């Protein structure tokens, strides 16, 4: 039995979700990531906004790692200039189509190979954790971490697809199937079946397709592979 949560969204980069929690190790230091929001679906050059300051401030370090509990971290930006505020209307600027802005903490290049122009040294996909650390001259550290998801852009002019990281599910859209110029999607396997039913056994992994509410001008295709020995009836 196959269970699917279907969802899709139109924005290119940072999407709205829920505010993050500030995890400070020292009351005299502030480390807070405010944009992107926790569990945002993102892609491309992602501006990171927040606060990094405090008494005896020395520097802040912004980096990322794969999955929700990374073992390794990759540097995005490091600075000895404190950041205590940013333009309050930046959330509106980010969602403006085609507008390019840089974050006050740094700009995270997550990749964008769906386009034939521009250079991106990475091509990330899946769940990642964004981390901000603020250090003072006495060795104290304040830290904030949020999980986000890096999706795939599908263009209306040429179509495209999103594939799960395990390679067992994919979502395909034909050209000229969108009501907008592009959408941002992700397809991932879930750890737990959110819709268990008595007497039925899932014969594939359970997948979530983000974001909700997307509509199409012609049929799209969602494919999930399962064990070939299963009786299709």
The pLDDT tens digits of the residues spanning 69-127 come to 999 999 999 999 999 988 766 666 666 555 668 899 999 999 998 876 677 888 999 99
Reply yes or no on whether the pLDDT at 139 is more than 90. yes
Residue 158's Cβ-side half-sphere holds a number of Cα atoms within 13 Å equal to 7
| CA nearest neighbour of 35 among 101, 115, 123, 127 | 101
Quick: pLDDT tens for 29-42.
Answer: 999 999 999 999 99
Q: What is the pLDDT of residue 4?
A: 33
> Using 50, 70 and 90 to split pLDDT, how confident is the model at 6?
very low
How far, in Å, CA of 211 to CA of 26, rounded? 37
Q: How far is CA 219 from CA 9, 172, 208, in A?
A: 17, 10, 19
Q: What is the pLDDT of residue 231?
A: 76
pTM value > 0.85:
no
Per-residue tokens: 140:
């104290």
Containing H/E element for 128? strand 126-136
How far, in Å, CA of 84 to CA of 101, rounded? 18
Reply yes or no on whether the pLDDT at 213 is more than 70. yes
């Amino acid at each position: 039995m196959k269970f699917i949560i279907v969802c899709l969204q139109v924005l290119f980069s940072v999407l709205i979700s829920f505010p993050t929690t500030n995890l400070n190790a020292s009351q005299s230091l502030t480390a807070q990531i405010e944009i992107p929001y926790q569990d945002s679906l993102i892609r491309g050059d992602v501006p990171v906004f927040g606060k990094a300051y405090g008494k005896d401030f020395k520097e802040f370090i912004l980096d990322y790692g794969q999955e929700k509990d990374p073992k390794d971290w990759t540097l995005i930006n490091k600075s000895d200039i404190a950041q205590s505020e940013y333009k309050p209307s930046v959330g509106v600027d980010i969602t403006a189509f085609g507008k390019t802005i840089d974050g006050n903490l740094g700009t995270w290049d997550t990749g964008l190979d769906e386009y034939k122009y521009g250079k991106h040294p990475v091509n990330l996909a899946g769940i990642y954790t964004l981390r901000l650390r603020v250090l003072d001259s006495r060795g104290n550290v304040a830290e904030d971490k949020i999980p986000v998801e890096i999706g795939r852009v599908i263009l209306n002019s040429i179509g495209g697809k999103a594939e799960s990281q395990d390679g067992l599910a994919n979502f395909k859209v034909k050209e000229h199937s969108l009501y907008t110029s592009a959408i941002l999607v992700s397809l991932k396997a879930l750890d737990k079946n959110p819709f268990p039913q008595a007497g039925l056994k899932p014969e594939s992994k359970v997948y979530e397709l983000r974001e909700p509410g997307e509509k199409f001008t012609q049929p799209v295709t969602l494919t999930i592979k399962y064990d070939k020995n299963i009786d299709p009836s």
